Amino acid sequence: MKLVVVLSALVALCAGSAIPVVPGDNSHYVEGESRYIWMPDGEGVPHLVDLQEPVDEDFLRTRNGANNQYWLYTRRNPTNPQVIVNGNANTIWSSNYAASRPLKVIVHGWNSDGNSAINPTIRDAFLAVSDCNVIVVDWRALANGLYATAASGVPGVGQHLGNFLVWLINTAGGNWNNVHLVGFSLGAHVVANAGRQAGGRPVRVTGLDPAGPLWSGNGNAISGNAGTYVECIHTDGGLLGIFNPSGNADFYPNGGRNPQPGCSLSTCSHSRAYDLFASTVHSSHLNGRLCGNINQAQNNQCSGSTLQMGNGNLSKRGNGLYGLSTGANWPF
């Protein structure tokens, strides 16, 4: 019997340490056990990540939230950003920022930058339906490092963002009841830390498939205390994304796991979260049904009251787990 136990342990160890060979295929991955996982960059190209790689402390000291860039877009400059520099009020006065408009903040994930697909996708959706200020946060200085190092630096990136938002509103005006923070993957945890740094004052915080690897049980992960209303959309739960409820309201389109309709790989399902969100900003047509428990959400067997998933409605409120079905192609 002891020999069987030892052999079983060795098999599990080897399986957990085995290097997967098919790019983007995370079918081997076991949360909390596997060492390697495929993660997409900002354009969806998969990269193999070693979750046991040591954090590069020297890199963190120079590549942190102090390097964040803040790119402002409005209907007057919908595609050409104006850079607002934290602490430099002149960069606000010379920009198209208007305190009377809602403020939307978008934060990308790992191995990405301000030009990565998530940003124009969501930026254009917001500007199409609302005369608003959109700030894209470019934190590539840290995000483009090793995954474990980038994940370790997420709280600092978020705290710098939170301080920037406090400075922006105190300097140029604005209303926290008009502030909506949106983050994808590691960016979901960034906006959560930003919201907490700002005293939970942002009226909405949206986490788009919040990153899962290295975030289970992490006190810096996205949670309901990041803003007045915190919503998470789970599309690759248990692999690249967190599956467990993480906000006031948690949506599980198509069960919240890979494969999402139209996807064959986990990397596609992970990125589907921001496409679904952008579509709901254009037209709030995806309605979740309240689930009695997480199993109902996973099996898409929810039949309770309805709540619209996503959208940019600043007065939206809700609690609980919600399941729904979507299509395979835009607008889903």
Measured distance CA(119)–CA(106) in Å, rounded: 7
Given 41, 138, 209, 236, the catalytic residue = 209
Measured distance CA(18)–CA(267) in Å, rounded: 19
Q: What is the DSSP string of 173-205?
A: ---GGGEEEEEETHHHHHHHHHHHHTTT--SEE
Annotated catalytic, 250? no
Exposed/middle/buried for 58, CB within 10 Å: 0-12, 13-18, 19+? exposed
Question: Which parts of 64-158 are beta strand (E)?
Answer: 69-74, 77-84, 103-107, 133-138
pLDDT class of 202 with cuts at 50, 70, 90 = very high
pTM for the whole thing? 0.95
Annotated catalytic, 270? yes
Annotated catalytic, 185? yes
The answer on pLDDT for 117 being more than 50 is yes
pLDDT digits (tens, 9 = 90+) for 16-32: 678 999 999 999 999 99
What integer is the mean pLDDT of 122-148? 98
Given 270, 271, 275, 279, the catalytic residue = 270
What integer is the mean pLDDT of 212-220? 96
Helix, strand and coil in the chain, % to nearest 5? 35, 20, 45
**What is the torsional sign of CA 280, 282, 283, 284?**
positive
The answer on pLDDT for 56 being more than 70 is yes
Question: Which parts of the chain are beta strand (E)?
Answer: 36-40, 46-50, 69-74, 77-84, 103-107, 133-138, 179-184, 204-208, 229-233, 249-253, 287-290, 306-308, 320-324
% of the chain with per-residue pLDDT over 70: 95
pLDDT digits (tens, 9 = 90+) for 248-296: 999 999 999 999 999 999 999 999 999 999 999 999 999 999 999 999 9
Q: pLDDT value at position 16?
A: 65
Residue with tokens 């994304």: 241
Tell me the CATH architecture of domain 54-324.
3-Layer(aba) Sandwich (3.40)
pLDDT class of 229 with cuts at 50, 70, 90 = very high
Given 185, 223, 269, 271, the catalytic residue = 185
What integer is the mean pLDDT of 213-225? 96
Q: At what angle do helices 186-197 and 147-172 cross, to 10 degrees?
A: 40
Say how many C-beta atoms besides its own lie within 10 A of residue 275's C-beta.
24
- Helix, strand, or coil here: 208? strand
